[in-house]
Amino acid sequence: MHTPAPAASIPAYLRETYWWAYMHPNAVRLFERQWLVNLILWGNFAKLRDAALDAMGESLPGRTLQVACVYGDFTQRLVARVPEGGTVDVVDVLPIQLANLRRKLPDAAPVTLVERDASDPVPIAGCYDRVVLFFLLHEMPADVRTRTLREAFRAVKPGGKIVIVDYHRPDASHPLRAVMRWILRTFEPYALDLWRHDLAHWLPRSILDREVVKQTYWGGLYQRVVIDA
Ligand SMILES: C[S@@+](CC[C@H](N)C(=O)[O-])C[C@H]1O[C@@H](n2cnc3c(N)ncnc32)[C@H](O)[C@@H]1O
């Protein structure tokens, strides 16, 4: 099922900065390759994907929200953990990305695709058992990142879980530190924010008393953050 938004307008940062990665049909044709997304993450795609999925759980009953589509097999692997009766909603602001994800999923997958800006107020608060954001926040300007996190926390039930996997400041001795700084500064202008601050910097004030469990990977270049709502 695909639920179109009443009027999802495409955020300026996506149009101006990421048209080449997500919006153009050639972008989808180019990037929708498992080996390429793995190369972009220096061979760490499977490890980071599984780190996100394992933090959510071996079995994912109830309602799961994936905020934004992901190239590669992230959603297929997520859906494989959903038992009978469980459901997954995937929110993305770009119809072309939702259509691409639909092609990757079996017809019977219990997945609803929702065309919506993840930083807009969620239609119903507190209805998901878990919410996952995989390499989304580094692509957002700080104000959009803050609103997206606020809405992710509004979407999850009390007792539910938020799982975030994204870039992180690498160790000072990381051999790719200078290369990654150049790549991110050149192609991903908001990403270095995640080198400067912990993710807690953009979390809603209302959850600052919760435990934020951070684990870093591959010399600190990547992080997983898990927060019990
Ligand atoms: C999850 S992120 C990056 C994932 C990762 N780089 C990959 O391998 O695909 C990319 C997706 O985020 C979506 N996106 C970006 N900003 C959004 C927003 N404000 N609301 C909903 N979706 C958004 C884009 O349309 C795109 O499909």
pLDDT at 193: 98
pLDDT digits (tens, 9 = 90+) for 79-102: 999 999 999 999 999 999 999 999
93 CB near ligand 1 (under 6 Å): yes
Tally of structural domains, the chain: 1
Are the CB atoms for 68 and 136 separated by under 8 Å? yes
Are the CB atoms for 153 and 218 separated by under 8 Å? no
Alpha-carbon span 16 to 18, nearest angstrom: 6
pLDDT digits (tens, 9 = 90+) for 142-180: 999 999 999 999 999 999 999 999 999 999 999 999 999
The most distant pair of C-alpha atoms in the chain lies apart, rounded to whole Å, by 49
226 CB near ligand 1 (under 6 Å): no
Containing H/E element for 213? strand 212-217
Q: How many residues does the chain have?
A: 229
pLDDT digits (tens, 9 = 90+) for 26-62: 999 999 999 999 999 999 999 999 999 999 999 999 9
**How many other CB atoms are there within 10 angstroms of residue 50's CB atom?**
12
Backbone angles phi, psi at 211, to 5 degrees: -80, 130
CA of 171 to the centre of ligand 1 (A): 26
- Domain enclosing residue 51, as ranges: 2-228
The C-alpha R_g of the chain, in whole angstroms, comes to 17
CA of 216 to the centre of ligand 1 (A): 22
Going from the C-alpha of 3 to that of each of 112, 115, 152, the distances in angstroms are 7, 6, 19
pLDDT at 7: 46
Are the CB atoms for 102 and 1 separated by under 8 Å? no
Q: Tokens representing 159?
A: 């007792």
User: Hey, CA dihedral for 225, 54, 58, 74, is it positive or negative?
Assistant: positive
Q: Tokens representing 112?
A: 């609803």
Alpha-carbon span 141 to 95, nearest angstrom: 21
Give the pLDDT band (50/70/90) at residue 6.
very low
Residue 36: CATH number of its domain: 3.40.50.150
166 CB near ligand 1 (under 6 Å): no
CA of 70 to the centre of ligand 1 (A): 7
Q: With 80 as the cut, is the pLDDT of residue 5 above it? A: no
